[in-house]
Structure 1
Amino acid sequence: MGTTEMARALFGTSMAFHIIFSTLGVGLPFMIVIAEILFHWKKDRDYAVLAKRWTRGFGILLGVAIPSGTIVGVMLALLWPGFMEIVGQVIALPFQVEIWAFFLEALFMAIYVYAADRLSPVMRIVSVVLVAVGASASAVLITDAHAWMNTPRGFQLVNGQVTDIHPWAAVFNPSFFITSMHVLSTAYLTGAFAVTSIAAYKLLRGKLEEREAAYHRKALMLSLIIGGAMALLSSANGHSTAQMLHHHQPEKLAAAEGLFETTAYAPLSIGGWTVESEQRVRGGIEIPWALSFLAGNRFDTVVKGLNEFPRDTWPPLYVHTLFNLMVGIGVFLMALAFGAIFWRAWLKRPYPRWLLALGTITGPLSIVGIETGWIFSCTGRQPWTIYHIQRTAEAAIHAQSLAGLFVLFVSLYAFLLVVTIFVMRFYFHRHPVAPELQHPLEAPASLHKKRIGGGRLGGSPA
């Protein structure tokens, strides 16, 4: 494996680990906001307990997200010096503003956790809303740099020198709004389905008092509604993304669909795998004219094929599989969410065990969808780090000693993942929900300082 490939593997592994915690760190605060609002609107203390326990889980996840995000930032500078030389001059603004977004999140997280019982209901909601706003703003600002890599604007590169710099043009690049909306909707989706998995698991196990079972059913219904709505929003945004790719990254769109020849009335290939020697997708199901419609809202839209571009600028053809996996997971989650809502709310029937069993896998599936989506987006841009401006090999470090670092950090991430799971399980096993449902409620988000300080951390935040 060459230096460039090793740098990509090391950075990709770091991002794959961090993105689990950063995504949940955006999705869970959104769920907490909804639970807080429902508590004050319906006067149902179960929603306050939900907000309280989700906040505890969020706090544990945040403890891992912060250092893993710091590692990713250090690796950007360490592994991609050529890239950072341009970034520092053109698109540094979102990184600087993101620090303030994190401060906003951290400040109001502290207020919500430790001072909620001293605030009025309105101010308590405001505090947790600002936590969610800070988390979402951080995601949008970091995503902006990624969007700029796909659709770079705001500078010229003349004889290797960066000139004619316009930072705001770089910030508001053509894919900024579409990419940011997709990142937020999928993060909210992931937070919701993480709750779905836990609530479904609790109900599937059975042996619950009716009071506790009712509590978990509320968590399940709320998460299904939000998860289904966000899955629907993500699919609508996916249509906009296809149009953005058609105009700005036609190679990625062609590779995603295994399209080799430029054509009107282009079909959409579902499933299968791309075979370069045959220049087609083998084993897929074709929907006639659908790709043209997705690309331009017309069935006769001309979609460029891979043969329009030099072979050395093609993305890896396995991105077709990544794209299908991402879309397939999204469709499954949306169908499951709306099917379960229809079953419970419209038919007035209890959740069957098979439906609860499917519900338990929605959280892990949403994480897999997030991971494959990011890999597709980054790999589909190859061989470019900055699309049509800087190749990945030009951006990478030239050191030859990355293999040891790769093993070290992969081991560290595996250790942190195991420890996080253990801490979650231990903490919530020691602090089950049943006593909180029976005793008078403290502040909805209040954490017992003596418990956190005493190290009694680790079960399920629902």
Structure 2
Amino acid sequence: MDTVDLARALFGSSMAFHIIFSTLGVGIPAMIVVAELLYHVKKDSDYSLMAQRWTRGLAILLGVAIPSGTIVGVMLTLLWPGFMEYVGEVIALPFQIELWAFFLEALFLSIYVYAADRLPPVMRIVSVAFVAFGAVASAVLITDAHSWMNTPRGFSVVNDQITDVNPLAAVFNPSVWTTTNHVVTSAYMTGAFTIASVAAYKMLSRRLSEREFAYHGKGLFMSLLIGGVMAVLTAVDGHSTAQMLHHHQPEKLAGAEGLFETTAYAPLVIFGTVDPEIQGVRGGLELPWALSFLATNRFSGVVRGLNEFPPENWPPLYIHTLFDTMVMIGSILIVMGFVPLAYRMWFKKPYPRWMTMALVTAGPLSMLGIETGWIFSCTGRQPWTIYHVQRTAEAATRAGGLGALLVMFVSIYVILLVTTAVVMRHYFNRHPVGPELTQDGSVSSR
């Protein structure tokens, strides 16, 4: 690989690792807020215990999220010096404010962890709400910079010089709301389904007491409800994203659907592989007129094809597979959220074992959807780092030795993933929920 490809691989692998922890760092605090609210509304101490135990898990995750985020920030500077020239002059504002959001999250997390039992109920909810607010604010601000890369605004380039800088125009670029909404709802979805996976896994154990089974059942029901709602909202945001691409990144939308000729009543093609030789998708399944409706809200809408753009500006055509994977996972998660809830409410009995086993996969599936979505978003912008302003080759470092760094950092990430899983498992095995439920003394039925 050349230097540009190595820089992309190194930064991409770092982001793929960090996104696991940053996503859960947004989604889990929101679940803790809901559990705290349910505890104070329903006076059911199980929800308070959920909030406490999820907070312990969150603390372990943040122990990896913070240093991995720092690594990403350093790599952004070292690997993409050309890009950082634009960041420093145009879009530095959200990065600066993000430090404040992180400080807010860390401060109130400390208050919640160490003083929650001594706080009145209102202040307890306020403290954890600020944790969730700081987490989502960090995500929104960082995503804002990403959306600016897709729809850059707030500056001009005259004789290779950046002029007429308007930071607010850069921050409030055309895709900011669509992109940030999609990121936040998908993070909430992932946090909920990750908790659902853990609860479902615990409920598969035949050694659970009735008390423990009821506790995990409450967590599963709550997380499936929130996860299902957020999966629907993520799909709605996905529809808005397609419309944004239609207006602002038409070649990316065309590449995602393997559309070569500008077409009215354009079909949506799922599955298959894009083949430039046949100017279409080989082995795909067409849904008539659906792409036009997705992009324009009209079946007769005209969608621009790849042939309207120079081939050197086309995105990699495998983004069609990434897009299909992301949409397929999102659809499966909507079903996994609502079908078990409907079964539980209609039949008034525990989930069948096969259904519980299927729900164990919900968390990993949602995380795979997050990873696929980010890869699609960033890869679909290629060959640009800043869309139609700066090519990736112009932004990348010229330094050598990136291959050794790639091997080293990927190895570190693998070790950290394994270590995090081992630490999490070891901690909760040494602190099972059973004794804490016994201390509570209340009884719940299945």
Q: TM-score, normalised by structure 2?
A: 0.98
CA contact (8 A) 2:31 2:191 kept: yes
Q: CA deviation at 1:157?
A: 1.1
| Corresponding position of 2:315 | 315
The answer for the alignment partner of 2:105 in structure 1 is 105
1:341-371 CA distance string (max 9 Å, x none)? 0000123232011111110011111111000
Q: Deviations over 1:118-147 (max 9, x none)?
A: 211011000000000000000000000000
Asked whether the 8 Å contact 2:193–2:223 carries over to 1, the reply is yes
- Residues 24-423 of structure 1: matches in 2 within 5 Å? 24-423=24-423
Q: Structure 2 unaligned runs (5+)?
A: 442-446
Q: Distance in 2 between matches of 1:433 and 1:345?
A: 26
Name the Cα RMSD after superposition. 0.8
Distance in 2, matches of 1:283 and 1:336, equals: 28
Deviation of the 1:177 alpha carbon: 0.4
Quote the Cα distance in structure 2 between the aligned partners of 1:105 and 1:133.
7
Q: Which amino acid aligns with 1:199?
A: A
Partner of 1:445: none
Distance 1:95 1:241 in 2: 23
| TM-superposition CA deviations, 1:262-291 (whole Å, max 9, x none) | 000000011111111111111211110010
Distance 1:112 1:74 in 2: 30
Q: Which amino acid aligns with 2:401?
A: S
SS in 1 for 2:47: helix
SS in structure 2 of the partner of residue 205 of structure 1: coil
Counterpart CA distance in 2 for 1:337 and 1:389 is 41
Q: Which runs of 5+ in 1 are unaligned?
A: 442-462
Q: Secondary structure at the match of 2:350?
A: coil
CA distance in 2, matches of 1:284, 1:345: 38
Shift of 1:160: 1.3
- SS state of the match for residue 315, structure 1? coil
2:242·2:253 contact (CA, 8 Å) conserved in 1? yes
1:38-76 deviations in Å (ceiling 9; x for gaps): 000000011011000000000000000000000000000
CA shift at 1:380, angstroms?
0.2
Q: Deviations over 1:95-133 (max 9, x none)?
A: 000000001000000000001112110110000000000
Percent of aligned pairs with the same residue?
Answer: 69
Paired amino acid for 1:87: V
CA distance in 2: counterparts of 1:57 and 1:159, whole angstroms: 52
* Partners of 2:232 and 2:310 in 1: CA distance: 37
- Partner of 2:444 in structure 1? none
**1:331, distance to aligned residue in structure 2 (A):** 0.4
Alpha-carbon distance in structure 1 between the residues aligned to 2:151 and 2:113: 40
Shift of 1:440: 4.1
Q: Distance in 2 between matches of 1:350 and 1:117?
A: 33
Shift of 1:238: 0.8
Distance 2:263 2:57 in 1: 50
1:168-206 CA distance string (max 9 Å, x none)? 000000000000000000000000010111111111122
CA distance in 2 between counterparts of 1:314 and 1:384 reads 10
Deviation at 1:401, TM superposition (A): 1.1
Task: Provide the C-alpha distance between the structure 2 equivalents of 1:203 and 1:275, rounded to a whole number of angstroms.
Answer: 46
CA deviations over 1:276-314 (Å, ceiling 9, x no partner): 111111121111001001111111110000000000000
Quote the offset at 1:158 in angstroms.
1.4
Structure 1 residue 381 displacement after superposition: 0.1
Q: Name the SS of the counterpart of 1:266 in structure 2.
A: coil
Q: Provide the residue aligned with 1:457 in structure 2.
A: none
SS of equivalent to 2:263: coil
* 1:424 and 2:424 correspond: yes
Q: Distance in 2 between matches of 1:158 and 1:327?
A: 41
Alignment map for 1:449-460 (pairs within 5 Å) = none
Matched-pair contact (CA < 8 Å) for 2:293–2:301: yes
1:16 CA displacement: 0.3
Listed one character per residue, the Cα deviations across residues 426-454 of structure 1 (whole Å, up to 9, x for unaligned) are 0000000001101149xxxxxxxxxxxxx
CA distance in 2, matches of 1:74, 1:59: 23
**Which residue identity lines up with residue 266 of structure 2 in the other structure?**
A
Distance 2:348 2:285 in 1: 37
3-state SS in 1 of match to 2:320: helix
Q: Which runs of 4+ in 1 moved over 4 A?
A: none
Amino acid at match of 1:185: T
2:246 alignment partner AA: H
SS in structure 1 at match of 2:157: strand
Which secondary structure does the structure 1 equivalent of 2:162 belong to? strand
Match of 1:52, SS state, is: helix
Q: Distance in 2 between matches of 1:440 and 1:341?
A: 27
1:352-397 C-alpha deviation (Å, 9 max, x unpaired): 1111111001111111100000000000000000000000000000
